Amino acid sequence: MPFRFVHTADLHLDSPLRSLALRNADLAEIVRGASRRALVKIVDLCLSEQVDALLIAGDLYDGSQTSMNTALFLGRELRRLDEAGIRVFIIRGNHDAQSQVTNELTLPPSAHVFKGRAKPVLAKLLPSGREVYVHGVSFAQPHAPESLLSAFQPPILSAVNIGMLHTSLAGASGHDLYAPCSVADLGAHGFDYWALGHIHQRQVHALRPLIVMPGMPQGRDINEAGVKGVTLVTVEDDGRIGIAEQPIGIASFERLDVELSAWSEWRDMLDGVKQALLRVCDVAPAENVIFRLTLSGATPLAWRLRRDADLLRGELDNIAAGIAGCWIEKVELACRVPEAERSGALDPVDELAALVQSDVLTAHGFRQEVRAAVEDLLQQLPPELRQLLAPDEEAVERLSFDAGASGSADVLAHLHGGEGTH
């Protein structure tokens, strides 16, 4: 029989809601409980596939947010694996190192948590007599600015060696540098499979040896969009290793851009958006699909869409409610009036719009006033919300520009008026 295991990481159990747009109470409840349900599905997968082990490559918890209730839930799920004879190998990531309960939870006897040195653990003896060892290193502190590769022992000769490491590798956008190392360094160490964690997007970095970042099993906001899952790994008797991605996520965040150029009537536009939503939902493996919807393109409806944004949102929410598991988190407008309708003499509002675009939005004084207003609003928000909205100088500048552009477009839309929306 081969050695089979599930490789996962970055569950961030009970991570707090991070999306400002989750105003719908039912949707908020789905997202709030999604990380727990993802772990339940991972355990179910281990049981149904009758694997030998579950490897968790760090960040089970979400740092200081962790409660004992979270830890007790984890303990209950791991006991399900213990009762089935499935072993669990865990390394602690940067968020686990921040947790107040990491060291207090009593795990089942079949669960092994690696410490600061990578002492190999025998995981299975294959029918051929070849042994399979798992090596791992945990974070002792929330930060690991230096490589942890030196903490690993050399591979055990004639055995299959699996390494577990929570690392940012050479660095990735949106992630701080943690336990940095290169793919080449990992490959040169001599292990047969590297079970990595920390980067939330799945990537197979190398095939020989296999170096796999499984991504997180459940996204938390639109910045963690797309299908999420775990990696099912099979180590054959002759040492060959095969992998397969298994979707897990309860809720999938998706960006959807609907081009409106084909429609000039409100009802046709709504039907077109509905068909676009259906196409994605019909093939999505997740139970729930949460959309960041962008309406773009040149359409005579451009002014109406912005002027009647509340009506638009209401109608789109009604459409989503009629599609099982479909939710709209936010609607963004990026459409414009067709050039043909701008030809000839401009009406006064069109002239004002052109002036705003060319002179007002680019004016230093206007940008400074908008930025001052944005900074004043940010100071009135709780620190964690302020950090989410504007974590750095570039984000504040981008937020200020978006506020000026969106606000001026809203004013112009109301000035433009127009006929009814149906």
pLDDT at 160: 98
- Residue 328, phi then psi, degrees to nearest 5: -115, 115
Residue appearing with tokens 């989750």: 22
Boundary residue ending a domain (224, 247, 270):
247
Domain count, the chain: 2
Specify whether 313 is located in the same domain as 167.
no
Specify whether 342 is located in the same domain as 219.
no
Token pair in block for residue 352: 């004002």
pLDDT for 331 beyond 70: yes
pLDDT for 245 beyond 50: yes
Give the SS3 label for residue 113: strand
Specify whether 78 is located in the same domain as 151.
yes
Q: What is the CATH number of the domain that holds 161?
A: 3.60.21.10
422 inside domain = no
Spatial CB neighbours of 421, under 8 Å, sequence gap ≥ 6: 266, 304, 308, 311
Q: How far is CA 320 from CA 23, 143, 258, 323, in A?
A: 15, 42, 15, 5
Specify whether 167 is located in the same domain as 282.
no
Burial class (CB in 10 A: 0-12, 13-18, 19+), 88: buried
pLDDT at 266: 96
pLDDT for 356 beyond 80: no
pLDDT at 296: 96
| 203-207: strand order across its sheet | 121-125, 131-136, 160-166, 193-197, 210-213, 203-207
- Put simply, whether the predicted model's pTM sits higher than 0.85 gets the answer no
Q: How far apart are CA 225 and CA 256, in angstroms?
A: 11
- Which range is least confidently modeled, 58-62, 77-81, 418-422? 418-422
Range of the domain at 235: 3-247
pLDDT at 62: 77
Q: How far is CA 56 from CA 12, 42, 137, 191, 247, in A?
A: 11, 11, 12, 18, 16
Spatial CB neighbours of 170, under 8 Å, sequence gap ≥ 6: 180, 181, 182, 183
Q: How far is CA 366 from CA 16, 390, 406, in A?
A: 36, 20, 14
Specify whether 327 is located in the same domain as 347.
yes
Angle formed at CA 188 by CA 182 and CA 189, multiple of 5 degrees: 100
Specify whether 64 is located in the same domain as 213.
yes
pLDDT tens digit sequence for 254-265: 999 999 999 999
Q: How far apart are CA 384 and CA 63, in angstroms?
A: 14
pLDDT for 350 beyond 70: no
Average pLDDT on 136-162 reads: 86
Spatial CB neighbours of 399, under 8 Å, sequence gap ≥ 6: 374, 389, 390
Specify whether 243 is located in the same domain as 337.
no
pLDDT tens digit sequence for 161-219: 999 999 989 866 555 677 889 999 999 999 999 999 999 999 999 999 999 999 999 99
Boundary residue ending a domain (247, 271, 292):
247
Q: How far apart are CA 360 and CA 353, in angstroms?
A: 10
Specify whether 90 is located in the same domain as 195.
yes
pLDDT band, very low/low/confident/very high, at 394 (cuts 50, 70, 90) = confident
Specify whether 122 is located in the same domain as 147.
yes
Specify whether 255 is located in the same domain as 201.
no
State the chain's mean pLDDT as an integer. 85
Boundary residue ending a domain (247, 265, 282):
247
> b/e per residue, 269-280, with b = 16+ CB within 10 A?
bbebbbebbeee
19 vs 390 pLDDT, higher one = 390
389 vs 184 pLDDT, higher one = 184
Specify whether 175 is located in the same domain as 52.
yes
201 inside domain = yes
pLDDT for 77 beyond 50: yes
Specify whether 232 is located in the same domain as 357.
no
144 inside domain = yes
Give the SS3 label for residue 196: strand
Average pLDDT on 406-417 reads: 60
Residue appearing with tokens 């994605």: 280
